[in-house]
A and B are shown apart, each in its own frame.
Chain A
Amino acid sequence: DAKTTQPNSMESNEEEPVHLPCNHSTISGTDYIHWYRQLPSQGPEYVIHGLTSNVNNRMASLAIAEDRKSSTLILHRATLRDAAVYYCILRDRGSSNTGKLIFGQGTTLQVKP
């Protein structure tokens, strides 16, 4: 499985935008980029995913580099409830089709009031 690299931790101020980077230099053509987050004492929750184009939803935006070797999750206005571990995950939708979702180490985001 292709690997992702994320910073261990980041800090943000409340109500400011947050840009969470992810490097995936060995990404294959059939890998989708998924983001999940895990709030304290909860299971992970889906945030967003994309293949090549930038994506937006009610939770966040995903900006994908043109060469797809990196991506950035953007939280437009961080709130205290966004403090969580954010996981960037590559998921192969190619012929293997195994259904595996493999978590890396993730980035722990702290949001300061």
Chain B
Amino acid sequence: DTEVTQTPKHLVMGMTNKKSLKCEQHMGHRAMYWYKQKAKKPPELMFVYSYEKLSINESVPSRFSPECPNSSLLNLHLHALQPEDSALYLCASSQALLEKLFFGSGTQLSVL
């Protein structure tokens, strides 16, 4: 199994909603990542987890809250988002930091 699975594939939420994005991998990878990608732009790194501990937070606003409950799962909790947060959210994993990344297909988020 070389897949990174992200759910849901599409999400529409209002600015007062709370929602969560989920990411799962069963490759035994110990590093997991969240990226944000706006249309026609490159992915931007948001968070990096290594061995279930937050390793990097790229100054992401607190309305985005990551969580790594175990080595296979990565969540991104969303609260009070703004319309400009609408984007494709990509999850990735790697065997360890600095190893090659495997990406999921992303969650397309629309904030109304």
Which A residues fall within an 8 A CB radius of B?
A: 34, 36, 38, 41-46, 49, 85, 87, 91, 93, 97-106
Query: Which secondary structure characterizes the binding site on chain A?
Result: loop
Tell whether, in the assembled complex, residue A41 and residue B105 are in contact, meaning their CB atoms are under 8 Å apart: yes
Tell whether, in the assembled complex, residue A99 and residue B102 are in contact, meaning their CB atoms are under 8 Å apart: no
Tell whether, in the assembled complex, residue B43 and residue A97 are in contact, meaning their CB atoms are under 8 Å apart: no
A-B CB pair tally, cutoff 8 Å: 56
Partner of B48, one of A38, A45, A99: A99
| Beta-carbon nearest neighbor of B94 in chain A | A99
Residues of B within 8 A of A105 (CB): 42
| Beta-carbon nearest neighbor of A99 in chain B | B97
Distance between B77 CB and nearest chain A CB, rounded to angstroms? 21
Residues of A within 8 A of B45 (CB): 100-102
| Beta-carbon nearest neighbor of A102 in chain B | B45
Tell whether, in the assembled complex, residue A43 and residue B105 are in contact, meaning their CB atoms are under 8 Å apart: yes
Residues of A within 8 A of B90 (CB): 43-44
Tell whether, in the assembled complex, residue B100 and residue A99 are in contact, meaning their CB atoms are under 8 Å apart: no
Partner of B56, one of A36, A42, A46, A99: A99
